[in-house]
Every structure is written in structure tokens, then in C-alpha cells.
Amino acid sequence: MAEKSFKYVIVGGGVAAGYAAREFTKQGVKPGELAIISKEAVAPYERPALSKAYLFPEGTARLPGFHVCVGSGGERLLPEWYTEKGISLILSTEIVKADLSSKTLTSATAETFKYQILLIATGSTVIRLSDFGVQGADAKNIFYLREIDDADKLVEAIKSKKNGKAVVVGGGYIGLELSAALRVNNIDSTMVYPEPWCMPRLFTAGIAAFYEGYYANKGIKIIKGTVAVGFGTNENGEVTDVKLKDGRVLEADIVIVGVGGKPLTTLFKGQVEEEKGGIKTDAFFKTTVPDVYAVGDVATFPLKLYGEMRRVEHVDHARKSAEQAVKAIFASEQGKSVDEYDYLPFFYSRAFDLSWQFYGDNAGDTVLFGDSSPTSTTHKFGSYWIKDGKVVGVFLESGTPEENKAIAEVARVQPLVQNLDKLATEEAPKTCTIYINFKTLAAEAAILSLSPVIKNGSC
């Protein structure tokens, strides 16, 4: 096959690729200079939709409704947009070899692609139970959710197993969001996870107690402290049950596994420096190889706010890191510079009528505030993380846009806490019982709409 050559190549077709493409056009990329190579068959889309509205029985999301960059309030980049901009969108093409020294990519069908500058946006892949030799883990109707093809198969299973039973293995993002989606579809659902509470990477026991109680009230059963060790199947190879390590056996027509992911760095092993499981970059997402950048889930980058290298798996970082890298590429070509990436970690989720946001770092001591009863009519509660006398992270359930903006500002500014006991006695995030000494008037103004804050240490 004829070799194809481009000035810029993005390998990967997820969220980061779409936002990078938009930034390339903003920076003035010329027609024919840029190619996106993706193993998926569709143009880049907002992946979070797959665990939310894509599975709803009503108000269902479908393409082209959630192509990037609609998730951040921007223009929806339909497939024809790439054509209009002169961007080669090369779909259904899996890259199986990357030779960074010769700047050559090779596909599964032996096509070769040359580039001058490479942007690695390969994202993550799911961890499969079959990787650990779990008996029956390859049975039909055991699902993982990462791409739109996965979601389509799950939708068909939900329709064919109407009023059936489902077991969700894992208590993180996927477990919580998909358990809710299954329940909305009137599927009898059970969550199973080994940890003492759900979402342990972020939630405290106090935060988790609310969600576990709320989900239980919705009819979702929760089994903690054990794992799936095998699956039963019928004569058609379909899953029939889940065998737990504690000896219990759960009936199941559908099983969804959400036990984590791992960055897709295999193509570049031994060619770029890695750190903390990802490809090491600088604050402009340049790797240790000239003309190679890495963004999103695969990048381990300097998190300026905390002075350390981190890898962040979240759509917000995928978007912003892609834009940063493209700006840095063009600035470098013009002999200019851009500001270092100064990212504030941000995570969020939506399920049922709940919606939480978290900003900052979940390190140090925690203080729960508000009404965290699972039967609360407002669901308004949150948590502060305090480290070295400063608020370094804030979580809020059911916040208004103004309140969510305020907690982001607090996490960024890291105000001093003068009275930790007062922090713990707050009943709702609008009472005046927290004593925080703000560093800036802007931060003070932002938080006053949400929290119980005191000006310069006095109410």
C-alpha cells in the first residue's frame, strides 16, 4: 500500500483527539497537514455519555448528538467538519506498530503513515477479568464499557433481558453509574466490590454511606468485601450466575465489569520514558522523544499545584491537556512559548437525580458538612479535605453552578482553616460556622455564595 504522510498525526480517536483537532484549527493548521488515526468507526465523541444517557430508556443520547466538543459547551464536530477543515479522519484503523525513530506508524492492515510531529492520545483500556484467569469470564452477556460498540451491545442486552437480573462487578465510576442506569431500565441490580465502601479512591466512608444508602433505597443491592471468582453459563454460552469468593452465587442475565483501566502505552514501550504507569511528559506534554507529545490518560505530567508528577484519568484533563499540547506545538514552531499547564484536578458524576463535583486533592483530614442522610430531600452535602492547615479539596453533591464554581476556587486558592471543629459542626453549606482566612478577595467573594465563610477569621 502507498505510504501516507502528514505533518501532524494524532494516534487515538477519543475525547483528547477531538479537542486537539479543534485546537489545531484554531492555531491555523493547513488543509492536508493533520490526520487522526482511530481504531473506532466513528468520529471522536464525548465518552462519558456512554455510561449515562446512552443507556436511558427515555431521553436517550445517540450520535451525532454527543460528538466532541459539545461536552464542554462548544461546537459539535460532526464527521463533515473534519472534511471541511481538511483534516484526514482515518477510522477503523488500528495502529499495531510505532517506530518513533523513523517517525512511522503501521496499521493492522500494513498501511504505513509518516509524520513530522506525533500526538499520542491512545487513552486507556479496561482491565478484564479474563486477564486474571477468572473461570467463565468470556461468557456471553458479560460486558465492559469503554467504546460505543460496547454500549451498543449492552443496550441490546438490556432490551432482550427485560426485567432480568444484573450483577455489576466493581464499585467505582462504572459500577455506580451503570447500576443506576440498569435500575432506571427496571433491571434488578446487585453491585459487588471488595472494598469496605464504594468509590474508595475518592469517597470517604461518610460520603460513601450516603450513596450506598441512596442506592439501596432505589432497590439496588450492595455486597461488599468480596469478589467474583467465576461465572456459570448455559448451553448457549450465556452467563447465568456469578460465583463470589465468600461462597454466594448470584443469578445474572447480565454482568457488567468495571474494575479499572490501564493506559494504552504498549506501542511506545522502550521508546519513551515512562513514569507512574504513563508516558512521562513536561508541562507542555512533550515526551522525552523529540516531536512526540502525549495527552490525556496516557500522560504522566507535572501537576504544578501540588509539585509532583501525576497521571489523571478524566475527560476534563483529556480535553485540557490536548489543547495545551497543540498550543505548545505551534508556539514552538513560531519560536514562542506558552504558560505551563496548571491543572486543577476535577471529577464529577451524575446518576438518578444526583450530581456531584470534586475539585482539588483528596489528601489529609476530612470534614463532612451538610445533610448527608440518604433520605435527605435536598441531597445537599459535601466534604472538605484539609492538609497542613489548608483546604486542598472540596466535594459537593447537588450544588448549583455558582456553588460548584465556588468550591473550585477554594480548592485552587487553598485557604487556611483556623478552626477545624467549627468546620465539622456545619449543618448546611450556607450557615456561618467555618473559619477560613482567605488569601484573596476574589476567592472570598466566590465562596460566600456557598459556604459558611468568615472574613479574615471573624464571622
CA angle (176 as vertex; 180, 356 as ends), nearest 5:
95
Q: Are the C-beta atoms of 77 and 65 separated by less than 8 Å? A: no
| 459: pLDDT strictly greater than 70 | no
| 431: pLDDT strictly greater than 50 | no
Residue 77 and residue 453: Cα distance in Å, rounded? 42
Closest residue by Cα to residue 49 from 11, 77, 14:
14
Q: In Å, what is the CA distance from 24 to each residue of 409, 434, 456?
A: 29, 45, 45
Q: What is the pLDDT of residues 310-338, one digit of tens each?
A: 999 999 999 999 999 999 999 999 999 99
| 444: pLDDT strictly greater than 80 | no
Q: In Å, what is the CA distance from 230 to each residue of 144, 196, 251, 424?
A: 16, 21, 12, 44
Q: What is the pLDDT of residues 253-304, one digit of tens each?
A: 999 999 999 999 999 999 999 999 999 999 999 999 999 999 999 999 999 9
Q: What is the pLDDT of residues 216-238, one digit of tens each?
A: 999 999 999 999 999 999 999 99
Q: Binning pLDDT at 50, 70 and 90, where does residue 417 land?
A: confident
Q: Are the C-beta atoms of 144 and 126 separated by less than 8 Å? A: yes
| 434: pLDDT strictly greater than 50 | no
Q: Are the C-beta atoms of 409 and 447 separated by less than 8 Å? A: yes
Longest dimension (CA), the chain: 73
Average pLDDT over residues 169-184: 97
Q: Are the C-beta atoms of 5 and 114 separated by less than 8 Å? A: yes
Which domains can be identified in the chain, with CATH numbers?
4-125+262-333 (3.50.50.60), 129-259 (3.50.50.60), 353-448 (3.30.390.30)
Residue 56 and residue 182: Cα distance in Å, rounded? 8
**Residue 172 confidence (pLDDT):** 96
**How many other CB atoms sit within 10 Å of the CB of residue 85?**
17
Q: In Å, what is the CA distance from 55 to each residue of 90, 161, 386?
A: 28, 14, 37
Angle between helices 441-448 and 401-413 (to 10 degrees): 150
Residue 342 and residue 364: Cα distance in Å, rounded? 22
Quote the distance between the C-alpha of residue 24 and its chain's center.
Answer: 23
| 432: pLDDT strictly greater than 60 | no
Non-local (6+) Cβ contacts of 233 within 8 A are 136, 139, 140, 239, 240
Q: What is the pLDDT of residues 89-117, one digit of tens each?
A: 999 999 999 999 999 999 999 999 999 99
Q: Are the C-beta atoms of 203 and 193 separated by less than 8 Å? A: no
**Residue 240 confidence (pLDDT):** 98
How much of the chain, in percent, has pLDDT values that exceed 70?
91
**Residue 335 confidence (pLDDT):** 97
**How many other CB atoms sit within 10 Å of the CB of residue 406?**
25
Average pLDDT over residues 157-161: 95
C-alpha cell at 228: 467474583
**Residue 2 confidence (pLDDT):** 74
Q: Are the C-beta atoms of 164 and 143 separated by less than 8 Å? A: no
Q: Binning pLDDT at 50, 70 and 90, where does residue 370 land?
A: confident
Average pLDDT over residues 449-454: 40
User: Which of 33-37, 60-64, 341-345, 407-411 is predicted least confidently?
Assistant: 407-411
* Per-residue three-class SS string for the chain: CCCEEEEEEEECCCHHHHHHHHHHHHCCCCCCCEEEECCCCCCCECHHHHHCHHHCCCCCCCCCCCECCHHHCCCCCCHHHHHHCCCEEECCCCEEEEECCCCEEEECCCCEEEEEEEEECCCEEECCHHHHCCECCCCECEECCCCHHHHHHHHHHHHHCCCCEEEEECCCHHHHHHHHHHHHCCCEEEEEECCCCCCCCCCCHHHHHHHHHHHHHCCCEEEECCCEEEEEECCCCEEEEEEECCCCEEECCEEEECCCEEECCHHHCCCCCEECCEEECCCCCECCCCCEEECHHHEEEEECCCCEEEECCCHHHHHHHHHHHHHHHHHHHCCCCCCCCCCCCEEEEEECCEEEEEEECCCCEEEEEECCCCCCCCCCEEEEEEECCEEEEEEEECCCHHHHHHHHHHHHHCCEECCHHHHHCCCCCCCCCCCEECCCHHHHHHHHCCCCCCECCEC
**Buried residues in 329-348 as b, exposed as e (16+ CB within 10 A):** bbeeeeeeebeebebbbbbe
Angle between helices 15-26 and 315-333 (to 10 degrees): 30
Q: What pTM was computed for the model? A: 0.92
**Residue 127 confidence (pLDDT):** 96
| 435: pLDDT strictly greater than 80 | no
